[in-house]
Amino acid sequence: MSLWVPGAGRFAPSPSGDLHLGNLRTALLAWLFARSTGRRFLIRVEDLDRVRPGAEARQLDDLAALGLDWDGEIVRQSERLPLYAAALDTLTDAGLTYECFCTRREIQQAATAPHGPDGHYPGTCRDLSEAQRQAKRDAGRPPAVRLRAAANEFTVDDELHGRYSGAIDDVVLRRGDGVPAYNLAVVVDDADQGVDQVVRGDDLLSSAPRQAYLARLLGLPAPRYAHVPLALNHEKKRLAKRDGAVTLADQRAAGHDPDEVRAVLARSLGMAADDETPTLPDLLSRFDPAALPRDPWIFPAP
Ligand code: GLU
């Protein structure tokens, strides 16, 4: 007898502004993936960076207005710093971290040399001697902490992309200003919260291998992923404020209530006919991951 206990899915917005229709579409998908598989659905506010006052409350209101519900309390990364520090200590004790004194500019300059994949850290500080490190500390530059990666590539399973292999590098675990890096926090949180299904925009697909690798090093299970297509503007760039009525508030101002917006999102996913306004239970009953579009949703020009 198999004893699979349903885990959890989640939506993890950064409270840097209002959610746009692409974010809301991803949230809807994350909810559908979780609920259709008997999972709990959690909301985690990723507020280690770029917080705009009031954004969190508006984001939660918008999710609720679409009918999405979630389980348990909202979790905020800013309230979980000891967890990230403990994970960093685990890696450091295992000899898997090092201090990096490079500035962004130095990394950019080094990365334009033919060292490897674009934007990957070229390893400048990996093998500094203790004396060199001390000299740099004495010069007053607060170091970031990086992972000493022992693999170049790692493979994850993705519901929409199949087996996906990606490059991994010496990712930053703690920034120079002492703030835990997103890649560490996300891995720690997903495991700690029992998240075994990660549904998010496919701009993060290339980060999944390094996150799953980090989970492995920490002795944590890797979640199953579903990286879903983004919403783009008519120029195939990320959706932004100037692209028209991109938020629920904009849509309301234009006379469209959240039910209509949900219908628009459902249509964009091939889950509703043009003349219907499906409820969330309707969408749940017809949800089929295999039938989801694989291409970005192009938002019409304003
Ligand atoms: N906080 C990230 C964002 O809003 C999402 C991270 C994730 O889902 O892993 O882009």
Instruction: Find the residues whose C-beta lies inside 6 A of ligand 1.
Output: 12-14, 46, 186, 200, 204
Alpha helices in 5-123 (DSSP H): 21-36, 55-65, 81-93, 104-111
Which of 41, 52, 186 has most ligand 1 atoms within 8 Å of CB, for mutation? 186
Which of 20, 59, 74, 204 has most ligand 1 atoms within 8 Å of CB, for mutation? 204
Q: Domain locations in the chain?
A: 8-79+229-298, 81-185
241 tagged catalytic? yes
Q: Which atom of ligand 1 is nearest to the CA of 23?
A: 4
> In CATH, which of 3.90.660.10, 3.40.50.620, 3.30.590.10, 1.10.3080.10 is domain 8-79+229-298?
3.40.50.620
Burial of 155 (0-12, 13-18, 19+ CB in 10 A): middle
Q: Which atom of ligand 1 is nearest to the CA of 211?
A: 9
pLDDT at 148 exceeding the cut of 90: yes
Centre of ligand 1 from the C-alpha of residue 198, in Å? 10
> Residue 112's pLDDT is what?
58
Centre of ligand 1 from the C-alpha of residue 31, in Å? 15
Centre of ligand 1 from the C-alpha of residue 268, in Å? 21
User: What CATH class is the domain 81-185?
Assistant: alpha beta
Confidence of residue 77 (pLDDT cuts 50, 70, 90): very high
Task: Give the residue-averaged pLDDT of 164-186.
Answer: 96
Q: Which residue type sits at 155?
A: T
Task: Give the residue-averaged pLDDT of 38-55.
Answer: 96
pLDDT at 231 exceeding the cut of 70: yes
Centre of ligand 1 from the C-alpha of residue 85, in Å? 20
Share of the chain above pLDDT 70, in %: 96
Alpha helices in the chain (DSSP H): 21-36, 55-65, 81-93, 104-111, 130-138, 182-192, 208-217, 248-253, 258-268, 280-286
Centre of ligand 1 from the C-alpha of residue 11, in Å? 8
> Residue 174's pLDDT is what?
97
Which of 18, 42, 60, 182 has most ligand 1 atoms within 8 Å of CB, for mutation? 182
